[in-house]
Chain A
Amino acid sequence: MPILRLVLERIAYAFIVVTAVLVLNFILVRLAPGDPAEVIAGESGGITEEILAAIRRDYGLDLPIHEQLWIYLGNAIQGDLGYSFYFNSPVVELVVSRMGPTILLILAATVIALFIGTTLGVLASRNPEGLFSNFLTVASLIGYSAPAFWTGLMLIILFAFVVPIFPIAGLYDVTLSVGFFGRALDIAHHLVLPAFTLAIIYIAQYSRLARASMLEVLGSDYIRTARAKGVAERVVFFKHALRNAVLPIITITGLHFGNLLSGAVLVEAVFNWPGLGTLAFDSLLRRDYTTILALLFFSALMVIVANLATDFCYRLADPRIKGKRS
């Protein structure tokens, strides 16, 4: 029962958040200067007022803003998020087609960051004053402060040009005609550099967090008790300590989901990854209002879902939470 109640509560909460997101963004986006009609009319063309007026009329841009908002909300409730001026296609179709690559990228980056970050942090915690631990502290500071687009470019130059073992950009190679399995391998090959670029910041964070969290747990009473009982050090370390130390990492991973999504905008732009990030980038520059709004809507939705998922993961990792309200 508490789970069902939690889910219902969360859905109601999500609905309010999403509506607020829709209204606020609608207004914010329209406040930005610039006219999508010009972008549609083309580069440096001999456009006339009539053409511009016709384009604005076509896309409902000539109505007062409150009327536009009203129409937008009405359509949104029916699942119609509008028609993209720039991409010339229904927005929902556009966003859904770009979701796969972004989710793939974010999940890959999360797995890499969690695995490498936690492992490094745990290893460092075994000898907190040792050389490795100090090296890790400095390395994670660098990893955390390097901007993703720079890291991405450096990785491209190193591993796609100097040592050309990875492709420069994109999701797959169109010139290749391969079967399903070949295509999957090709995508994995294309995924390596962008996933690592996005993961680097989080590897740095998770390793620091894992190290600190392990040190804290290792100093607690129940660890001392376990050791006093004569439990093997390996068991103490991995079963008693790690399982508890991992809780804050799960929380942070969930919270990071929104950050990952915004980090993906940069990484996707560098690697021309056909996900929501490049779509956001393109539609912002073109004042493609409907697409920007739909993206904000979907990312709000994704963050809410991720938070919900975090709650449940938390319950699995820590039996004490069961039955309690989080």
Chain B
Amino acid sequence: MSVIRKSFAPTAIKATIGAGLGFALATGAVADTPKKGGTLVIGSPQTPRHLNPAVQSGVATGMPGSQIFATPLRFDENWNPQPYLAESWKVSADGLSVTLNLRKNAKFHDGKPVTSEDVAFSIDTIKKNHPFKTMFSPVAKVDTPDPHTAILRLSKPHPAILLAMSSSLCAIIPKHVYGDGKDAKRHPMNLKPVGSGPFRFVEYVKGQHIILERDPNFFLKGKPYLDKIIYKINKNSNSLALGLERGDIHLRAFNTKSRELGRLKKNKNLVVTAQGYAAIGPIAWLAFNLKHPILGKKAVRQAIAYAVDRKFINEALHSGLSKPALGPIAMGNPLADQNAKRYDLDLGKANKMLDAAGYPRKDGGTRFQVTLDTLLSQRDVAEYLKPQLKKVGIDVKLRIPPDFPTWANWVKSHEFDMTVDVVFNWGDPVIGVHRTYVTSNIRKGVIWSNTQSYSNAKVDALLEKAGVELDPAKRKQIYLEFQKIVTDELPVYWMYGLPYHTIYNKKVGNPPLTIWGTMGPMDNVYLK
């Protein structure tokens, strides 16, 4: 009798759980009512230096940073600014001041209120320490007429300012913690951060994990839904993939490995999506050193563009996971020119152009020799380019760097002919696009500056105008004109948007898919 009872009890429980699951799935299909509680486990291959995005750029710090620190604004998936720490804001008609009305109930995780003083201090800290200089350089000062009003005074109109005040770019850090006179870049509290975001810091073990827990006093009532977020750090992408398949990990972002993604797509518990990277806008391109005697000629660069098959890269190398990039502004950005000159594969045309440019094939069928460098992550594309350019008589010598610093050293000192590179847009062109094309940013020794030595007075003038134009329609016109010029002159040949993908378990509700994706706050995310 007792034997029967023992074996009966678990079956009954299983049956109940089964019924419960079935019910949950059924209701889930109708309407998603967010559920409270649970621990979201995110897998990440990167170890952040520290967790303070006010003084450190990049994805590694940005992902957890946006959970710990709130920003004045946030953006939805359609590029519209939304209230966050600022419940409302106003840009003056002349564009020279931005007034932020802060929430009165916002508190830092140590219980002290968030005030306009903190906003002024944060912007000043970012201006002094963050590598993206252009974000706040027009901000002359921040006035604080009362604790809940901050007015940014600008030296010139700056349409990028709203985006610069959003996720991961403008962490509001408490003055009473970080304003003690210590160097912000090496502040001890960067490893034990205190912010006002939806989750507060619990523990960070370098190379292993970050633990964050729900802030019960978060200023948006009822949020966040999750009790905890754990970032499991593991450099090995394949181990993270196994973790997703096993269910140990709920979510992984910034994966570009097509073989892995192809496999994960087949798993019925997982969703693989390319959404959530619009603002980051990673573009892979073939950069030309315009100081090179042959590559300095526009016709040669255009011929190379005609010889490269973007479709092959997208479909064969990336198994259909990447999309072509047609110009300097990421295709997901409303400012991008969707009708830019395309350079569809045409080997005949490429050959003719090279003949006409004065580089006929010599005995061996070779016209000239150039070196091609590559970021290690894009090595497969560089290896494709070598035989592909051979078809039009260009002898490419591949130079594969042993590691990132070596490559950066070649490119920043302008000692390269061509290189495959990946550069991020970071939302507004002022932050991530201008730097590649303006003459004033030709600076030896700085990677991801205008290392191509591209210089066109018209482009300089257009970009300067676009940087201060407040009317969105007019601004777009200026950027379209800019894109027309550079897509003709090709200081770089944009090949594809990096196929960043987010993989998440179907248990994850409201997955982070806004323009900042996992680099935005996850107060809406829940576990079903």
**Residues of chain A having any CB pair with chain B under 8 Å:** 32-36, 38-52, 55, 58, 83, 86-89, 94, 153, 156-157, 160-161, 164, 167-171, 174-175, 269-270, 272, 274, 278-279, 281-282, 284-287
Quick check: A156 and B447 within 8 Å, CB to CB?
A: no
Q: Which of A39, A51, A156 contacts B405, CB < 8 Å?
A: A39
Q: How far is the CB of A305 from chain B (nearest CB, A)?
A: 25
Residues of B within 8 A of A86 (CB): 49
A18 to B405, CA, bound (A): 28
Residues of A within 8 A of B57 (CB): 41-43, 45
Q: Which of B232, B404, B423 contacts A285, CB < 8 Å?
A: B404
Quick check: A89 and B191 within 8 Å, CB to CB?
A: yes
Closest to A85 in B: B49
B392-447 residues at the A interface, CB under 8 angstroms: 403-406, 408-409, 412, 422-424, 426, 431-432, 435, 443, 445-447
Q: Which of B185, B209, B424, B446 contacts A47, CB < 8 Å?
A: B446
A45 to B56, CA, bound (A): 10
Say if the beta carbon of B83 comes within 8 Å of chain A: no
A155 to B413, CA, bound (A): 44
Residues of A within 8 A of B248 (CB): 167-168
B269-316 residues at the A interface, CB under 8 angstroms: 282
Say if the beta carbon of B388 comes within 8 Å of chain A: no
Quick check: A34 and B133 within 8 Å, CB to CB?
A: no
Residues of B within 8 A of A281 (CB): 235
Residues of B within 8 A of A170 (CB): 208-209, 232, 234
User: Which of A42, A49, A279 lies at the interface centre, i.e. has the most chain B CB atoms within 10 A of its CB?
Assistant: A42
Say if the beta carbon of B332 comes within 8 Å of chain A: no
Stretch at the interface among B20-28, B238-246, B335-343, B350-358: B238-246
Say if the beta carbon of B39 comes within 8 Å of chain A: yes
Question: Interface digits, B227-238 against A, CB 8 Å rule (1 contact, 0 not)?
Answer: 000101111101
Number of A-B contacts (CB under 8 A): 149
A46 to B418, CA, bound (A): 21
Quick check: A88 and B448 within 8 Å, CB to CB?
A: no
Say if the beta carbon of B82 comes within 8 Å of chain A: no
A and B contact pairs by CB, cutoff 8 A, 27 listed: A33-B409, A34-B405, A34-B406, A35-B408, A41-B57, A43-B59, A44-B422, A45-B448, A46-B131, A46-B426, A46-B432, A49-B445, A49-B446, A51-B131, A58-B186, A88-B49, A156-B242, A157-B242, A161-B246, A167-B248, A175-B41, A272-B233, A274-B206, A281-B235, A282-B235, A284-B403, A287-B405
B113-162 residues at the A interface, CB under 8 angstroms: 131-134
Quick check: B235 and A269 within 8 Å, CB to CB?
A: yes
A278 to B58, CA, bound (A): 21
Residues of B within 8 A of A33 (CB): 405-406, 409
Quick check: A168 and B424 within 8 Å, CB to CB?
A: no
Say if the beta carbon of B34 comes within 8 Å of chain A: no
Q: Which of B242, B243, B408, B449 contacts A34, CB < 8 Å?
A: B408
Quick check: A44 and B423 within 8 Å, CB to CB?
A: yes
Say if the beta carbon of B99 comes within 8 Å of chain A: no
Closest 7 CB pairs of A and B: A34-B405, A42-B57, A45-B131, A42-B58, A45-B57, A47-B131, A44-B424
Main secondary structure of the interface of B (DSSP, over half): mixed
Quick check: B405 and A38 within 8 Å, CB to CB?
A: yes
Say if the beta carbon of B50 comes within 8 Å of chain A: yes
Q: A49-B445, A88-B49, A174-B232 are in contact. Are A168 and B242 (CB under 8 A)?
A: yes
Q: Which of A32, A48, A278, A282 contacts B446, CB < 8 Å?
A: A48
Residues of B within 8 A of A48 (CB): 131, 133, 443, 446
A33 to B242, CA, bound (A): 35
A35 to B409, CA, bound (A): 7
Q: Which of A52, A87, A161, A272 contacts B236, CB < 8 Å?
A: A272
Closest to B47 in A: A282
- Other 4 A-B pairs with CB < 8 A, given A45-B131, A46-B426, A49-B445: A33-B409, A41-B131, A46-B134, A285-B404
Q: Which of B404, B409, B412, B431 contacts A46, CB < 8 Å?
A: B431
A293 to B206, CA, bound (A): 19
Q: How far is the CB of B433 from chain A (nearest CB, A)?
A: 9
Q: A46-B432, A47-B447, A47-B448 are in contact. Are A272 and B132 (CB under 8 A)?
A: no
Quick check: A161 and B245 within 8 Å, CB to CB?
A: yes
Closest to B187 in A: A88
Q: How far is the CB of B20 from chain A (nearest CB, A)?
A: 22
Q: How far is the CB of A4 from chain B (nearest CB, A)?
A: 41
A171 to B59, CA, bound (A): 25
Q: How far is the CB of A294 from chain B (nearest CB, A)?
A: 15
Q: Which of B235, B245, B432 contacts A272, CB < 8 Å?
A: B235
Q: How far is the CB of B29 from chain A (nearest CB, A)?
A: 28
A86 to B49, CA, bound (A): 6
Say if the beta carbon of B32 comes within 8 Å of chain A: no
Say if the beta carbon of B455 comes within 8 Å of chain A: no
Closest to B432 in A: A46
B202-258 residues at the A interface, CB under 8 angstroms: 205-209, 211, 230, 232-236, 238-239, 242-243, 245-246, 248
A88 to B134, CA, bound (A): 26
Closest to B245 in A: A161
Quick check: A88 and B186 within 8 Å, CB to CB?
A: yes
Q: How far is the CB of B133 from chain A (nearest CB, A)?
A: 5
Q: A58-B185, A161-B246 are in contact. Are A46 and B239 (CB under 8 A)?
A: no
Closest to A270 in B: B236
Residues of B within 8 A of A167 (CB): 248
A160 to B183, CA, bound (A): 44
Closest to B135 in A: A46
Quick check: A174 and B211 within 8 Å, CB to CB?
A: yes
A50 to B239, CA, bound (A): 39
Q: How far is the CB of A288 from chain B (nearest CB, A)?
A: 10
Say if the beta carbon of B524 comes within 8 Å of chain A: no
Say if the beta carbon of B366 comes within 8 Å of chain A: no
Q: Which of B39, B61, B405, B446 contacts A175, CB < 8 Å?
A: B39
Q: How far is the CB of A106 from chain B (nearest CB, A)?
A: 18
Q: How far is the CB of A277 from chain B (nearest CB, A)?
A: 11
Q: How far is the CB of A51 from chain B (nearest CB, A)?
A: 5
Residues of A within 8 A of B406 (CB): 32-34
Q: A47-B446, A88-B50, A169-B236 are in contact. Are A42 and B405 (CB under 8 A)?
A: no
Residues of B within 8 A of A89 (CB): 191
A150 to B421, CA, bound (A): 30
Residues of A within 8 A of B446 (CB): 47-49, 52
